[in-house]
Amino acid sequence: MGLFDFFKKKQETPEAQEALDKGLEKTKEGFFSKITKAVVGKTTIDDEVLDNLEEVLVTSDVGVTTTLKIVDRIQQRVAKDKYVGTDDLNRLLKEEIQSLLAENNSNDFENFEYGNHKPYVIMVVGVNGVGKTTTIGKLAHQLKASGNKVVLGAADTFRAAAVDQIKLWGERVGVRVVAQAMGSDPASVAFDTIKSAVSNGDDVAIIDTAGRLHNKVGLMNELGKIKNVMQKVIPGAPHEILLVLDASTGQNAIEQCTQFTQATDVNALALTKLDGTAKGGVVIGISDQFKIPVKYIGVGEKIGDLQLFNKKDFVDSLFK
């Protein structure tokens, strides 16, 4: 079984679909109650309904830029048929959101090819409190379950708790952890982890990094240094820079994405804590705005609740 074949298989299970539906419950409840209020007393989609819809999308954390695109598309469709009723609004909205995501994003992660990289190096970035360490642990579990040898690198050396948490996840999942004393040079930990992965024949190395969003220059320098030492062992590493964002922070997640994408070459996103928030619309805005694939979404507390993001499944679930 290939590296991510396991994910494809798991994503298709009824349990995974049920977890996704349950994880989006709060977002759905807030979203559709707002839409219902937006069309009350109306039979056709007129300018007032479109204005109300714009407000609904913005307050659902879809983001202003993406909201304007969606509303404009619906307005164009309504203009072609003057008698489109408000009962058609959900269908139009669903179609336009799916269309927008299909146009503005890469293939879903189920089409991701592992390629010939071994070890495949993932550097994980994100601020403290977004669920970064939990995401690393759950990802390690999924990869190990698919038959891969995984090693974790505890390169967030500025917080003792971060190193301890990675070690706990390593024990829980049953994967090796490379760590040094608190306050050690993060680049040194990353270097040791990559060297260890090569000598041990590991398939995947996941490197945690400091969760501080300090000034952009400092962040850029630190992450750049870590990347440079990795490349001394494996040219081209890291193959993936995964930014973890907390969906429950809504527009703040978009701001964090802006900061980190300016500081380093983020090429994958994970949105956590979708089950605890009504702000799931932020996934749509981030997917559209940054053109970086959302690869993982966290839809629950269980170790298997880190799912692959599939645009169609996500929107289908949102509109159930």
What value does the CA radius of gyration of the chain take, rounded to a whole number of Å? 21
Contacts of 258 (CB under 8 A, 6+ apart): none
What φ, ψ does residue 296 adopt, rounded to 5°? -130, 145
- Under DSSP, the state recorded for 234 is S
Q: Burial, 15: exposed, middle or buried (Cβ in 10 Å; 0-12, 13-18, 19+)? A: exposed
Q: Which residues belong to the annotated binding site for GTP?
A: 126-133, 208-212, 272-275
- What residue numbers does the annotated binding site cover? 126-133, 208-212, 272-275
Run of H or E residues at 251: helix 251-263
Maximal C-alpha separation, the chain:
69
Nearest to 128 by CA among 94, 103, 162: 162
Half-sphere exposure of 215 toward its Cβ, with a 13 Å CA cutoff?
2
In angstroms, the CA 134 to CA 129 distance is 10
